[in-house]
Structure formats: structure tokens, C-alpha cells
Structure 1
């Protein structure tokens, strides 16, 4: 079990937050327990996305004070919650995206009896809906009409899509959210997802919206671009996340596979500001190939020099390794990081899957993920680590380079991470309890570590 330490050491629990650095859900004010996304706000506050408990219960956003207490003034209704509601739809949250005006976007997937798709909700700084965005604050992008009419819907990875070993432990898959959102400096918004062609082939898609939520048709002349991976043989490609460089070019990362022969890989590709494949980015696409399962989860850009860090996981010798590599702004492997090679890390005997990352100004990299094979079993714990710019573990971080959150008699899966301006690390996730036939999510948590 994780306990706070007395010394103010980087990578240890922050005793000034909640109960010894850990806030567990549900709390007296909120019945919800699924803490699925977290975002730093001004004044050292935190925004947390929560799935409330109960059948057809809404998704809600809460704001936490610096000490981890609920900000009751948030939302103006006395509950400290702002609910997100789309009539007749079930919602999940995949990302919270901070905006330049102090507000934020909530991005996720909606599902109805008839259809589904991506949704984007925009809030002002006070938590109220920004009704100038989309239709009264909400923009829906149905999968059935996403992209060119020849594309008929979402290509979403589900557990077992690649015939991986199943588990009796209530699979949550690779942990991938499968879609993301990010804002450009000019206020335009990129979204990433997947579509399926009429022939059943799945491909990634990147879309650009104007700041008011309308489709930006100046992007590729259509408002979207399909990830084609020119020159690479594949049967399916999946887009996981996007990041924007300072010059307005958009980075897209994901994974692909060729069913026969068994060949897989992950990729980072770049589109220019007009939505065209940018071949100046090392020919347009950078790949890491594997004969086993390999996935991409997140990508980040460092503002100072445009360096790119990409993370995910790869199955090696029967154990998942955290995968990480660093590229220059031009798309070449950075020889200062692990001698220009992808870095595969286990750190614990059961292996791990990286989920979130952050590049620091000094070149260090903070990563967080879930240990084990991606199922709710005793192997599952939440792990946070800090690597130096050369790819070695930073031993000043908790004395080992990493810290594990592992509660007695439960399993933990990491969902999200945010870095505060003073460097403190905030992660959130779910607590799972063993049951028949599968484990179930019985709570959530938010943890803050010292920088």
C-alpha cells in the first residue's frame, strides 16, 4: 500500500493534498466514482471528469481546490458539479482540453439506440456552457456521417480485436481512449478518431473545427483528412491522439497492422496547416515495427524546441513493455535519447503500458500508466515514472525513478495525468474489486505527487 513519506522528495505523495496525497471517490458530496480525466486550472485548482453512479446517470465535471477539497462554488448551483447531458445518449469522457481563454473542452463519445459519434462541449471559465460554440455549447459528430460519404462509421478497437489472450478479470482493453482533441494557437480545434470504409477497412481520421465549433473546410478542402500511411502495407490503421506544433502543423499518432503475414507497427505522421501530408517530416511518416502487439497511446510536443515524445506499449517475450521514443521537430529519431532507439521498459515483473506523458523544459519525461496486461487482475497497479533526457531513469524521483500506487485487496488502472505549473504531478484512475464473473469498478482516485 502507498503511504506518504516525511521527506519532501520528488515522486512522493504530496501531503498537502486530500488525505496524504490521495483523494478517493466517492466522497460525501459526490456519489460518482469513475474519475476518468483530470486537468490543471488556474489558481492551482483541478478539473476532474466523473461518471456518476446509477443507471443512465450523467457525466459530470467537478473542480477541486488546491488542497483536494470540492469547490462548491463551481457551476453556480451549490453542488460543485457541472453535468454534461445529451438527450437520449450515454456519454464517456476521453479528454479535457484547456483553452486559451481560460475555459475548456470536454471531448468524448456518445452512444444512442440509433447511432453514436464524438461530442465536444465547451465551457467558460466559470463552468457555464459557452452557447456560442456549436449548438448551445455542444457539437456532435456522428460516426455515420464523419468524413467522406464513402466512410460509413467508426473503426474502434475493442478487447480481442487482435486475438490477444483474454482474461477473466473484466478487460478494459489496452487502456486506449482512441480519440483526442487539442486547440491551436488561433483557437481552431483538432479532433482525431477512426472511420471504416465501405469495404470494412478501418483508417484514422483527423478533423479541424473553427473556434465556434463549425467545420473548418479550409483543412484539406473537406474539414478532415484520412490517415493513409503512404508506402506502408496495412489492413487497418488506428489514430489515437493528436498534437499541434507551434507552426500549426498537426502530428497524428496511432498503430497499424497487416493480418497476413503477421506484422504490426506504430506511427507518427504529420499534416501541414492546409491538411496535406507533410513529407518534410522525415518523408511524412515515422514508424516503429513489431511482429507482436504494439500500440501508441499519447504524444506530446515540447514548446522550447519542438521535440516530440511518443509513448505506448509493446508485447515482448510475453510481457508488455512501456514503449517510448523521442523525435526531433523534423521527424528524426533524437540520438540524445536512448542513442536514437525506441526505449522499452518493464520496471516491474508484470510489465506495464504507458498511458500519458509530459515533456519537461529540462528534457526530462514524465510518464504514467498501468502495470500488467491491461486487465483488472492483481497485476494491475498505477505507475508513474520520470526519465532523464537520455532515456535513463531519474533516480532522484522517489529514489528509484518511479512510484507505484497499489492498494490492498483492489486493483488500480490509470486514466489520465496533468502537470501543474509548479511541476507537481496529478494522476487519476479507477479502483477495481474482484467479483464473479468479472471485476467491477468500485471507486476512483486522484493522486498528487511532489515535483
Structure 2
């Protein structure tokens, strides 16, 4: 609901940023599995949420379909979440979901392939009824293998352990974009201690596009003009009619600095962008990392993540920055400077979406007190110029929702009526609990 219209409603009506009573009676939905890594909106405001089912090598990917009110969508696999593996006897995790114009559901994730336990990009495509689309890849699945990636293992399959016997897969480091009938994928890996970005381009059938990079795959490296620098860790991607943009960070003398990179649509680094294809700032104002990037209505780029300055020392806060498509700072966004939003003791934005009216919606996590490990969910909304939208949330631009224990990664999408759907997971020891909620917009 647009906030301008909400001012005329009954005072008892929820304001923007409050839980939507029309979605699961205004309560958080606990989902099946252990992860909820992404959400997409389909026809009729149906929701498709993806993730994983376990914290160990028995994990499968999972797809949950919900009606606009939060109930199970009976037309999708009879209302039961779909669980499957990208390959037989493999460890699988879904990280992103995309609803295609023909209403099919495309899922991007990663698969660990035995016996060398190397992780690869993996995709699946489903029909609106929850059945695999057998015309895609091999019987609905595509695991694109490329000769240039043979000795590389995607770091987005890092393992994190909360006990010697229980491990879970770390999600949130791949990106999927569809443009002009092609599927673009990005991810991160290391080789000899140096970071690399992996790009792939697939056609509508799930096959590598031969005129992209080296027969469908491309490795993007920094030309290394500085010592002790690692390549950009590309955590998010967007594709325009002319270029591929990636956002993440460059590590320089053990400090992360927010960074952008531009690639031609043929998979080659665009050396005319910034310094040899990269835009970054090694000054105090450039510290931080982008976790998500988006294209604004003014055709500028906006990135969200976390950052710090000498004044905040080692404490990071939710960060936004914007530049034009040629790599110059956007003077209409905080006068061309990055924004650090001080929310509680520390904070970080995980994801962002630009609404039709140009406002920027974000979700992430924060800590209330110094030294504690517990994180809480935060959701914010900014005006196109980077100032907080004071009509949103309990804190004049942002709001918070405590979870049972520690809040982990989150992702969001925005409906046409500006309602905000957030998914993620939190720890309710010893379990990982995936969730979904909807806020009034």
C-alpha cells in the first residue's frame, strides 16, 4: 500500500514497515528445511521461496510456493514444498529464484560433486504446477561444466560448523540475471589465494552460450596494479542492454573496500570503466563491501552492504552508495558520498530492491549491544536521494524484528502495492529455522 494513501486510513491500520495482518494473520511463517535464501513473486502475487533442507551433505534444494495470504499454494506440487537434488547423490542448495514471463520457475544454486567434493553452479526449471520442466538441461536440471573452471571450487560453498558433526552450507554468494533470453550467472572463487569472479552465460535450454567468454565461461581477474590486492568478490550482478555490472569488494592490505566491475556482454572485462574495468576507493570513505546492487529508476547504480570509517573503527554499519553507469559518483545521492546508517551498535544490509516509485528497500541484520553475538532482522526504506523514508518503520526509516536467537542472512522482494516480503533464517539452538514475513509498504 502506498504510504500517501495510508494516511487517510483508520488510525488502527498498520503503517508502512509493520507486519501485514493479511499475511499469515500478521505472524512470521516458519518454513520447511534449514535455509530460505531468496524469494520471487509470480502471477497473482504468489510467492516462491528457495533454500536447502539440511546442514550436512544430505542437503537438497527446496522450493516452497505460497498464496498471497501466506497459505500453501495447492496448485504447486499439491501444496507440498518440492525437494530435489541437482545431481544424484550430491549435496544441493538453492540460492536464487526467478519467475519467467511464461510463469516457469528458474532456480540457481550450487552442487557438490563427488568424489572430489568440488562445487559447481547448478540450475533447475519447474513448471507452474511444481513439475520439472524436462525441456531444460537434462530432464529439468543443468550443471554447466566448463574447462576453464575445472580446478576451481566456488567459495560460496564454504562450510561453517556449529559443532564438530554438524555443518551447514553458507548461502548468498551467487547471482542470477535473465536478459534478452539469456541467463547470466556470477560467483566467487579463489586460486592460489587470489580472488576470482566466475561468469557463465546459458541459453534458454540451459546450455552454455558459445559466443560468451571462452565458449560460455569467463574468469574476471584484477590486473593487479597494487601489491597485496585481491580481486573483487562479486556478490551481486545486474545486466543492462550494454554491460554486466558486478558489485562486491576488493581486499587491500586486509581491509575490504567497496568495488564495482563492468564486463561486456561477451564476457570480456571492460577496461574503459574506472581503472581497467574496476571502480573502487582506497580512502577511509571507501571501506566496506556491497552485498546487493540494483538499477535505479534514474539509470544509476545503487549498492547496499556494510561499511566503516576511522571514526567507527572496527564497527560496521549499513551502507549505501551510488554511481552512474560510467563509474562516476552520483551527485544526486548523498552528494556523491557513501551513506552509513547507524542502527543499533552495528548493522549490515543483505539485500535491496528499488520500488516502482524509486524508493530503495533494504533488509539485513544488526546487533543491539557491543560484544554480543545475537543479531536481529532489520528492514529499511530510503528515498531516491539516499535519505531515510521517515514514513517507514518504527525508527523513521527502518524497523527491527528480534528473532529467537541469532539472525543470519536475509533476502527480500517487493510487490506492486509496495508490500515487502522478507525471507531468511535464524538460529534456534541447535536448529536453523527458515522464515518468511510480509510488511505493509
Q: TM-score range by the shorter chain?
A: 0.7 to 0.9
Measure, in 2, the Cα distance between the counterparts of 1:249 and 1:13: 38
Following superposition of structure 1 onto structure 2, how do residues 243-322 of structure 1 map, counting pairs within 5 Å? 243-245=238-240, 247-258=241-252, 261-282=253-274, 284-289=277-282, 294-302=288-296, 304-315=297-308, 316-322=312-318
Structure 2 vs 1, CA of residues 211 and 377 (structure 1 numbering), >3 Å: closer, same or farther?
Answer: farther
Pick from 426, 433, 440 the counterpart of residue 443 of structure 1.
Answer: 433
Q: Which residue does the alignment assign to 2:23?
A: 17
Q: Which residue does the alignment assign to 2:204?
A: 211
1:402 has 2:398 as partner: yes
Q: Which residue does the alignment assign to 2:8?
A: none
Q: Which residue does the alignment assign to 1:80?
A: 80
Following superposition of structure 1 onto structure 2, how do residues 2-41 of structure 1 map, counting pairs within 5 Å? 6-25=12-31, 31-41=32-42
Measure, in 1, the Cα distance between the counterparts of 2:427 and 2:55: 17
Q: Which residue does the alignment assign to 2:7?
A: none
Deviations 1:74-109 (CA, angstroms, capped at 9, x unpaired) = 12xx35222222311111121112223221211111
Instruction: Give me the CA root mean square deviation.
Output: 3.2
Measure, in 1, the Cα distance between the counterparts of 2:367 and 2:193: 32
Q: Which residue does the alignment assign to 2:181?
A: 187
Following superposition of structure 1 onto structure 2, how do residues 25-104 of structure 1 map, counting pairs within 5 Å? 25=31, 31-52=32-53, 56=58, 58-75=60-77, 78-85=78-85, 86-104=87-105
Deviations 1:357-398 (CA, angstroms, capped at 9, x unpaired) = 01223332111101139xx96530010000112211111002
Tell me the CA shift for residue 298 of structure 1. 0.9
Following superposition of structure 1 onto structure 2, how do residues 110-121 of structure 1 map, counting pairs within 5 Å? 110-114=111-115, 115=117, 116-121=119-124
Tell me the CA shift for residue 70 of structure 1. 0.7
Structure 2 vs 1, CA of residues 289 and 42 (structure 1 numbering), >3 Å: closer, same or farther?
Answer: farther
Tell me the CA shift for residue 413 of structure 1. 2.7
Measure, in 1, the Cα distance between the counterparts of 2:213 and 2:75: 43
Pick from 327, 330, 337 the counterpart of residue 334 of structure 1.
Answer: 330
Measure, in 1, the Cα distance between the counterparts of 2:80 and 2:157: 35
1:370 has 2:365 as partner: yes
Q: Which residue does the alignment assign to 1:228?
A: 221
TM-score, with length taken from structure 1: 0.83
Contact 1:176 1:297 in 2 (8 A): no
Q: Which residue does the alignment assign to 2:5?
A: none
Measure, in 2, the Cα distance between the counterparts of 1:361 and 1:172: 40
Structure 2 vs 1, CA of residues 112 and 167 (structure 1 numbering), >3 Å: closer, same or farther?
Answer: closer
1:137 has 2:152 as partner: no
Higher mean C-alpha displacement, 222-231 vs 56-65: 222-231
Tell me the CA shift for residue 248 of structure 1. 4.2
Structure 2 vs 1, CA of residues 293 and 167 (structure 1 numbering), >3 Å: closer, same or farther?
Answer: farther
> Tell me, which stretches of 5 or more residues in structure 1 are unaligned?
26-30, 161-165, 434-438
Contact 1:355 1:416 in 2 (8 A): yes
Structure 2 vs 1, CA of residues 32 and 301 (structure 1 numbering), >3 Å: closer, same or farther?
Answer: same
Instruction: Give the match's secondary structure for 1:153.
Output: coil
May I ask how many residue pairs the two structures share in their alignment? Answer: 416
Structure 2 vs 1, CA of residues 322 and 216 (structure 1 numbering), >3 Å: closer, same or farther?
Answer: same
Measure, in 2, the Cα distance between the counterparts of 1:146 and 1:21: 48
Tell me the CA shift for residue 180 of structure 1. 1.2
Measure, in 2, the Cα distance between the counterparts of 1:118 and 1:379: 32
Deviations 1:197-253 (CA, angstroms, capped at 9, x unpaired) = 3x44331121111111111121134322222234653234422121111x1421112
Q: Which residue does the alignment assign to 1:163?
A: none
